[in-house]
Amino acid sequence: MSVTIKTEHEIELMRQAGRLLEKVHNDLAGYIKPGISTRQLDKIGEEMIRSLGCVPNFLNYNGFPGSFCISLNDEVVHGIPSDKKIIHEGDLVKIDAGLIYRGYHSDAARTYAVGEVSEEAKQLVRVTRECFFEGLKFARAGNHLHDISKAVGAHAAKYRYGIVRDLVGHGIGTHLHEDPQIPNFPQKRRGIRLLPGMTLAVEPMINLGRADVAWLDDDWTVVTMDGSLSAHYENTILITEGDPEILTLSDQV
């Protein structure tokens, strides 16, 4: 699939899809408390998405058995919602969510600390978010795709974090995953030239320890090899002639 350039009409639909997803994230965040299971969170979130007239795009995607990916602590991404997985005080909870609004997808992830967590965990969450915004500085027409990758990776490297290499960001539009792939670490080549109307999901996945990850036997859940904590932060963005627009976050501070 080639990289798609969205029309003004498509961009407006993606803005709507983004705003609705932001609302789901913000509303669901209030339910992340000790004692709730990740399956309960998934069900509450799915109901929110459907009540907005949207469809959860992760559900049944390549057979994924949930509407949200909910990953705890050393789980990096793609955690399957489960009645057996209960949120505890001190957990890092990663909620990756996406929806379809009138045929257009949005995709965003947040990492939450439940109650008190260690200073190093707090820093990991903060820096992972910062990595996104470092990359965002280069997300403008005329730059090259891998300028984003380099900036994301450079920020994580300052803290000697492990930057996940086996999973990457992606284009997004009428499909959840479109070209191009967006690595979170420096590339030898500079990548495609960014053009106005490209919509991209930029999503740093950063480990407190080493970069290596493994897949559990459920064929979905990605975990850190060394058992260290991992954080994830993602937004769907629009490339413009000027500053990029974050479609899944209105408060950019």
Give CA angle at 209 (138, 35), nearest 5°.
Answer: 95
**DSSP H helical ranges for 34-182:** 38-51, 119-136, 145-158
Beta carbon of residue 134, minimum distance to Mg ion (angstroms, whole number): 18
In whole angstroms, give the CA distance from residue 49 to residue 237.
20
Query: What are the structure tokens assigned to 212, written together?
Result: 């290596």
CA 160 from chain centre, in angstroms, equals: 21
Closer to Mg ion by Cβ: residue 75 or 203: 203
Q: What number of residues does the chain have?
A: 253
User: Which CB sits closer to Mg ion, 106 or 117?
Assistant: 106
Q: How far is the CB of 132 from Mg ion (least distance, A)?
A: 12
The answer to whether residues 231 and 206 touch, using CB atoms and an 8 Å cutoff, is yes
Q: How far apart are CA 187 and CA 151, in angstroms?
A: 11
Binding site for Mg ion (CB under 5 A): 107, 201, 203
The CB-of-162 to Mg ion minimum distance in angstroms stands at 19
Q: Pick from 157, 156, 136, 158: which is nearest to 148 by CA?
A: 136
Closest distance of CB 105 from Mg ion, Å: 9
How large is the angle between the packed helices 38-51 and 8-29, nearest 10 degrees?
Answer: 140
Closer of 134 and 203 to Mg ion (Cβ)? 203
Least separation in angstroms between residue 109's CB and Mg ion is: 7
Least separation in angstroms between residue 229's CB and Mg ion is: 20
Q: Which is nearer to Mg ion, 117 or 171 (CB)?
A: 171
CB-count exposure of residue 243 (10 Å: 0-12, 13-18, 19+) = exposed
